[in-house]
């Protein structure tokens, strides 16, 4: 599959020459992707599927800055060369539509190849064996957690790109991703709740990795337990409260509240920009809090290069409470006065790359220690952690939001919302479980209210980021638990 | 699109007992606008060509293989693609079947104006862009974003039982948001007529102007809330259809249990209807045969508050011992309503919170029906007059709301989906 990208022959050079003779600058993107999936329900394989895509996207830029993208699901020269001609015509024809002209940035040529070792193992994966292994895991999960309806899915995704430009850039990279997901649903005839969990690995033998599957089963047990408890749980009244959020929710806060608003293609309307320029130096949080986006080897959202052929840089969005760097690509950086960070990503060769996150985290200076592993912490253990640190002296009753189940933001207004899997109240008097409720409000209020953190950084919270009609894997986290003081602009949703 | 090699290879494969293909070759032109900039590097004029086929193979030993093949596998590598599919075959007796041939309805799915745009004629696009730019200037909006697209599709559904349906269809869609606040648009088989396009644009602009006015205090407690049709589609209908999904019902992952379908007791209020009619001309959700080759027909999912049928493909129809249902591919072919309905002026006669957009729909648990949604784009309405913007949170349980006597369907101009006037918690 990756070999298809190295076997393009002289097609890249031919395309570049043809673009030059047409008077345009070319960014060419070739992609091959193989996705396989197995779904198990009730101890049997319910679905397997295998699909692949391959194709080329050609984005041309005229001398006066007009651009067009043409794509076709084929890597054959006979089909690709006419595609380039069509892109050139469309770019010139765009004048009639009043299209925007963007100055062509000056970019350093790059030649590189990054193909992780795990990629070699994808062809050897048998979906039949994966299905059998999923059934084993479901049986083990059901043995540990009798009662709920269980669903397990395993997906592998080998996503390989080769990207070139008129300046001679030629970069090949492959991103191996495997995810094991589980969902437990209340079996009762009355109200039903579904609670999901997931782990990832770049290695397709994830299902046979004892350490990873043990971690999955611990998380799956907790999910099953919760889905059985939720139907009897009351709803929590709305309002502003002292909060504890876990690392997955902290990822949601960083991603929804600050990450999207720091993407430079949105600076003409983002609340983190003024007159199209990033508000570098503005204080947006306390001095002990930073937000960092960084692509991490082995991570679900790892991506070493952008689909424009630039290396992706670590970006400190908030440094000690102040806006510092933006997520940018060559075009948005030029227009908004920030450094190029190579943060653009694209779902496929059919899409134009846009700046977006990979693995984003909230870092808190002076985080307090937490013994054991994150999975050791149920609400009782979190309560003990808070009690030991004296949090209840400040706030006798704290709302603990556990587990992330998605979010959304309006980058123009700064309104964000995300949901949890469970809500608990913690106090020295006891613990009470409530049904999930949304956590919403103003991004500045949320960041300002972060008071303290517990535990080391844990960055494996998974997600899928949708922006501008494109979905890409996302990830991130924080310290195991963050404590937020109450803030009038940050609220827990409402009662049913 | 040439399926000949693939069909020949499947027909010749002795170990393939039955097969089904749903193939489509598409040509699409699209253009984005980000913060007033049309066609910039992040949203360029985009010409896309694609060809893919979803397949189901039933092998001689009864196992099945499912997936999709891309252009090169369809046109040049068919024998190898079939051999590769065998490697992931699995036992699934309910899926081991293909649709039988039968009458196929005539449905208008092709609009020459959409085909012209998809083939590169941007005249209509230029006119619509100019109209939006004029409207933005007149309203004094600082920014707007949006997207336009047109697609021409040559599709073919063919299987080993004799189904062979070829189709030429188009799609056209657009959406726009003003001031990053509120989005509206339309999708169908052809472009909206000029008058409908202008009216939709004006309605969206008027709502954004009202949102940019002075803020109002939020009503609190359980109060009347009017959900805009966009909210009804995005949250209410999507939640209902999540729970009507045949797989979810069969596996106990739905709010509705299999034995409730066809039973005499109502799960929603006894006058509520939910149905689909995919035979309507030029709707986004219209079709002649499904990707599996099942002929389209109108059908009810809920009638008089009672469950009639889940959304069923061939596999889950067999599993649940029901006939396959039509598929609600888009909401413009869905009919959701009942006799307790009102026009917009009547619905807003008293006091209500008018919710235009919600954040966080995909974070909700569809199975429980509990919802807790941020509604920062809402208007407080008193005696029919918008009194100002409210940033609210609405919460409740959808199923309880749809059983309440005071829930009312509200007709909106230019919308196929009604709004809903409900009572729920506002904070």
Residues A226 and A263 occupy one common structural domain? no
In the predicted model, residues of chain A with pLDDT beneath 70 are 189-190, 494-496
Whether A53 sits inside 8 A of B88 (CB atoms) is: no
Nearest to B367 among A185, A189, A266 (CB): A185
Residues A228 and A253 occupy one common structural domain? no
Final residue of a domain: which of A211, A232, A253? A232
**Number of structural domains in chain A:** 2
Reported as a single tens digit per residue, the pLDDT across B214-269 is 899 888 889 999 999 999 999 999 999 999 999 999 998 899 999 999 999 999 99
Work out the average pLDDT over B274-300.
Answer: 98
CA–CA distance from A229 to each of A226, A232, A261, A295 (Å)?
A: 5, 6, 37, 37
How close is the nearest chain B Cα to the Cα of A54, in Å?
8
Q: In sequence order, what are the residues at sequence separation of 6 or more whose Cβ sits closer than 8 angstroms to the Cβ of residue A410?
A: A416, B180, B181, B359, B376
Task: Decide if A42 is inside a domain.
Answer: yes
For chain B positions 384-413, those within 8 Å of chain A (CB to CB) are 391, 393-397
Residues A226 and A328 occupy one common structural domain? no
Whether A48 sits inside 8 A of B393 (CB atoms) is: no
Please give the Cα distance from A185 to A169 (Å, whole number). 50
Whether A193 sits inside 8 A of B365 (CB atoms) is: yes
**Domains in chain B, CATH or no CATH each:** 4-209 (3.30.2290.10), 215-427 (no CATH)
* Residues of chain A neighbouring B211 (CB-CB closer than 8 A): none
Residues A285 and A152 occupy one common structural domain? no
Number of H helices, E strands in chain A: 10, 23
Q: What is the pLDDT at residue A96?
A: 85
Q: What is the pLDDT at residue A189?
A: 64
Whether B360 sits inside 8 A of A438 (CB atoms) is: yes
B221 touches chain A (CB under 8 A): no
Residues A342 and A454 occupy one common structural domain? yes
CATH number, domain containing residue A93: 3.30.2290.10
- Mean residue pLDDT across chain B: 95
* Residues of chain A neighbouring B40 (CB-CB closer than 8 A): 67, 99-100, 102, 331
B23 touches chain A (CB under 8 A): no
Beta bridge partners, A45, equal A40
Nearest to A438 among B120, B368, B393 (CB): B393
Work out the average pLDDT over B188-212.
Answer: 96
User: Are the C-beta atoms of residues A349 and A357 closer than 8 Å to each other?
Assistant: no
Whether A493 sits inside 8 A of B372 (CB atoms) is: yes
Residues A298 and A405 occupy one common structural domain? yes
CA–CA distance from B30 to each of A68, A82, B94 (Å)?
A: 10, 19, 40
Residues A51 and A90 occupy one common structural domain? yes
Whether pLDDT at B115 is above 50: yes
Final residue of a domain: which of A197, A212, A232? A232
Please give the Cα distance from B418 to B427 (Å, whole number). 25
Q: What is the pLDDT at residue A496?
A: 33
User: Are the C-beta atoms of residues A490 and A449 closer than 8 Å to each other?
Assistant: yes
Q: What is the pLDDT at residue A178?
A: 98
Whether B359 sits inside 8 A of A440 (CB atoms) is: yes
Nearest to B368 among A42, A127, A191 (CB): A191
User: Are the C-beta atoms of residues B143 and B176 closer than 8 Å to each other?
Assistant: no
In a mutational test of the A interface, the residue from B374, B391, B403 whose CB has the highest number of chain A CBs within 10 Å is B374
How close is the nearest chain A Cα to the Cα of B279, in Å?
28
Per DSSP, helices labelled H in A290-449 are 330-336, 379-389, 391-394, 443-448
Whether A494 sits inside 8 A of B376 (CB atoms) is: no
- A469 → chain B, closest CA residue: B147
Task: Decide if A237 is inside a domain.
Answer: no
Work out the average pLDDT over B138-157.
Answer: 96
Please give the Cα distance from B404 to B388 (Å, whole number). 28
For residue A202, give both structure tokens.
Answer: 């770049």
Nearest to B35 among A191, A268, A407 (CB): A268
Of the given ranges (A479-488, B287-296, B359-368), which has the lowest mean pLDDT?
Answer: B359-368
Q: What is the pLDDT at residue A173?
A: 98
Please give the Cα distance from A374 to A197 (Å, whole number). 14
For residue A87, give both structure tokens.
Answer: 């892109």
Q: What is the pLDDT at residue A332?
A: 95
Query: How would residue B383 be classed by pLDDT, with cut points 50, 70 and 90?
Result: confident
Higher pLDDT, A461 or B391: A461
Total Cβ atoms within 10 A of residue A189: 10
* Residues of chain A neighbouring B67 (CB-CB closer than 8 A): 49-51
Task: Decide if A24 is inside a domain.
Answer: yes
Residues A216 and A251 occupy one common structural domain? no
Task: Decide if A92 is inside a domain.
Answer: yes
Residues A79 and A24 occupy one common structural domain? yes
Q: What is the pLDDT at residue B363?
A: 84
Residues A227 and A333 occupy one common structural domain? no
Please give the Cα distance from A324 to A335 (Å, whole number). 17
Q: What is the pLDDT at residue A406?
A: 85
Number of H helices, E strands in chain B: 12, 18
Q: What is the pLDDT at residue A428?
A: 96
* Residues of chain B neighbouring A228 (CB-CB closer than 8 A): none
Final residue of a domain: which of A232, A252, A275? A232
B129 touches chain A (CB under 8 A): yes
Whether B393 sits inside 8 A of A412 (CB atoms) is: no
Which of the 8 DSSP states describes residue A340? -
Whether B359 sits inside 8 A of A48 (CB atoms) is: no
Nearest to A68 among B45, B67, B396 (CB): B45
Whether A238 sits inside 8 A of B393 (CB atoms) is: yes
Residues A160 and A248 occupy one common structural domain? no
Q: What is the pLDDT at residue A495?
A: 37
Task: Decide if A238 is inside a domain.
Answer: no
Nearest to A97 among B84, B129, B247 (CB): B129
B359 touches chain A (CB under 8 A): yes
Interface predicted TM-score of the whole assembly (ipTM), two decimals: 0.93
Structural domain span for residue A461: 243-495
* Residues of chain B neighbouring A353 (CB-CB closer than 8 A): 42
Residues A272 and A401 occupy one common structural domain? yes
CA–CA distance from A319 to each of A155, A281, A283, A305 (Å)?
A: 36, 9, 9, 24
Q: Report DSSP letters for B98-145, one per residue.
A: -PPP----------HHHHHHHTT--HHHHHHHHHHHHHHHHHT-S-EE
Reported as a single tens digit per residue, the pLDDT across A199-231 is 999 999 999 999 999 999 999 999 999 999 998
Q: What is the pLDDT at residue A494?
A: 55
Task: Decide if A446 is inside a domain.
Answer: yes
């Amino acid at each position: 599959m990756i070999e298809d990208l190295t076997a393009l022959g002289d097609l890249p050079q031919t395309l570049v020459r043809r673009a030059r003779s047409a008077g345009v600058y070319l960014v060419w993107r070739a992609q091959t992707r193989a996705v396989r999936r197995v779904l198990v329900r009730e101890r049997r394989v319910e679905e397997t599927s295998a699909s692949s895509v391959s194709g080329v996207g050609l984005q041309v830029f005229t001398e006066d800055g007009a651009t067009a993208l043409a794509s076709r699901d084929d890597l054959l020269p006979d089909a690709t060369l006419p595609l380039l001609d069509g892109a050139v015509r469309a770019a010139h024809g765009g004048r009639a539509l009043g299209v925007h002209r963007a100055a062509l940035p000056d970019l350093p040529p790059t030649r590189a190849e990054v193909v992780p070792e795990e990629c070699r193992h994808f062809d050897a994966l048998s979906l039949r064996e994966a299905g059998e292994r999923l059934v084993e895991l479901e049986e083990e999960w059901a043995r540990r957690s009798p009662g709920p309806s269980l669903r397990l899915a395993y997906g592998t995704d080998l996503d390989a790109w080769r990207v070139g430009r008129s300046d001679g850039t030629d970069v090949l990279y492959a991103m191996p991703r495997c995810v094991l997901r589980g969902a437990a649903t209340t079996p009762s005839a009355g109200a039903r709740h579904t609670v999901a969990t997931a782990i990832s690995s770049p290695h397709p033998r994830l299902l046979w990795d004892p350490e990873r599957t043990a971690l999955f089963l611990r998380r799956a047990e907790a999910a099953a337990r919760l889905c059985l408890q939720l139907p009897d749980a009351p709803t929590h009244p709305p309002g502003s409260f002292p909060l504890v959020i876990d690392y997955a929710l902290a990822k949601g806060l960083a991603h929804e509240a600050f990450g999207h608003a720091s993407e430079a293609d949105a600076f003409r309307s983002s609340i983190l920009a003024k007159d199209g320029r990033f508000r570098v130096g503005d204080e947006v949080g306390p001095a002990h809090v930073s937000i960092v986006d960084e692509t991490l080897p082995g991570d679900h959202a790892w991506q070493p290069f952008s689909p424009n052929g630039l290396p992706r840089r670590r970006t400190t969005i908030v440094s000690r409470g102040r806006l510092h760097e933006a997520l940018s690509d060559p075009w948005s950086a030029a227009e908004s006065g920030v450094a190029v960070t190579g943060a653009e990503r694209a779902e496929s060769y059919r899409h134009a790359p846009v700046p977006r996150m990979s693995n984003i985290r909230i870092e808190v200076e002076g985080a307090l220690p937490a013994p054991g592993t994150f999975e050791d912490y149920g609400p009782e253990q979190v309560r003990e952690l808070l009690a030991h640190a004296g949090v209840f002296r400040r706030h006798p009753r704290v709302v603990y939001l556990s587990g992330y189940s998605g979010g959304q933001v309006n980058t123009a207004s700064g309104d964000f919302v995300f949901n949890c899997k469970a809500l608990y109240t913690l106090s020295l008097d006891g613990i009470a479980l409530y049904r999930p409720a949304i956590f919403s409000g103003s991004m500045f209020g949320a960041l300002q209210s972060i008071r303290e953190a517990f535990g080391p950084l844990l960055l494996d919270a998974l997600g899928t980021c949708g922006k501008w009609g494109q979905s890409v894997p996302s990830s991130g986290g924080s310290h195991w638990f963050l404590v937020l003081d109450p803030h009038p602009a940050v609220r827990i949703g409402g009662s049913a | 699109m040439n399926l000949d090699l693939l069909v020949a290879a499947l027909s010749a494969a002795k170990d393939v007992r039955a097969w089904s293909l749903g193939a489509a070759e598409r040509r699409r032109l699209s253009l984005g606008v980000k913060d007033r900039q049309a066609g910039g590097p992040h949203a360029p004029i985009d010409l896309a060509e694609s060809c893919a086929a979803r397949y189901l193979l039933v092998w001689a030993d009864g196992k099945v293989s499912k997936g999709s093949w891309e252009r090169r596998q369809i046109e040049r590598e068919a024998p190898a693609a079939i051999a590769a599919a065998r490697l992931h075959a699995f036992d699934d007796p309910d899926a081991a079947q293909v649709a039988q041939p039968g009458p196929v309805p005539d449905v208008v799915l092709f609009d020459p104006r959409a085909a012209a745009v998809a083939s590169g004629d941007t005249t209509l696009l230029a006119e619509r862009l100019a109209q939006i730019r004029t409207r933005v200037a007149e309203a004094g909006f600082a920014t707007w974003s949006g997207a336009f697209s047109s697609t021409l599709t040559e599709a073919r559904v063919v299987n080993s039982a004799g189904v062979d349906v070829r189709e030429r269809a188009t799609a056209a869609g657009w959406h726009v948001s003003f001031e990053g606040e509120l989005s509206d648009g339309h999708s169908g088989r052809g472009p909206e007529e000029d008058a409908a396009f202008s009216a939709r644009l004006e309605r969206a602009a008027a709502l954004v102007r009202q949102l940019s006015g002075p803020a109002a205090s939020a009503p609190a407690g359980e109060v009347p809330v009017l959900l805009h049709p966009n909210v009804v589609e995005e949250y209410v209908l999507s939640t209902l259809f999540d729970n009507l999904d045949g797989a979810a019902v069969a596996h106990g992952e739905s709010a509705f249990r299999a034995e409730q379908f066809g039973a005499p007791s109502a799960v929603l209020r006894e006058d509520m209807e939910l149905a689909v009619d995919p035979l309507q001309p030029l709707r986004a959700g219209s079709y002649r045969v499904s990707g599996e080759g099942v002929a389209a027909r109108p059908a009810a999912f809920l009638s008089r508050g009672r469950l009639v049928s889940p959304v069923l493909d061939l596999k889950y129809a067999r599993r649940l011992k029901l006939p396959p249902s039509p598929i609600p591919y888009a909401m413009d072919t869905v009919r959701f309503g009942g006799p307790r309905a009102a026009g917009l002026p009547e619905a807003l006669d008293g006091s209500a919170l008018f919710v235009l957009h919600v954040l966080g729909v995909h974070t909700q648990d569809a199975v429980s029906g509990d919802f807790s949604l941020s509604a920062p784009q809402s208007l407080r309405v008193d005696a029919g007059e918008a009194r100002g913007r409210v940033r609210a949170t609405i919460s409740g349980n959808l199923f309880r709301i749809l059983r309440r006597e005071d829930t009312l369907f509200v007709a909106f101009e230019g919308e196929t989906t009604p709004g809903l006037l409900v009572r729920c918690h506002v904070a």
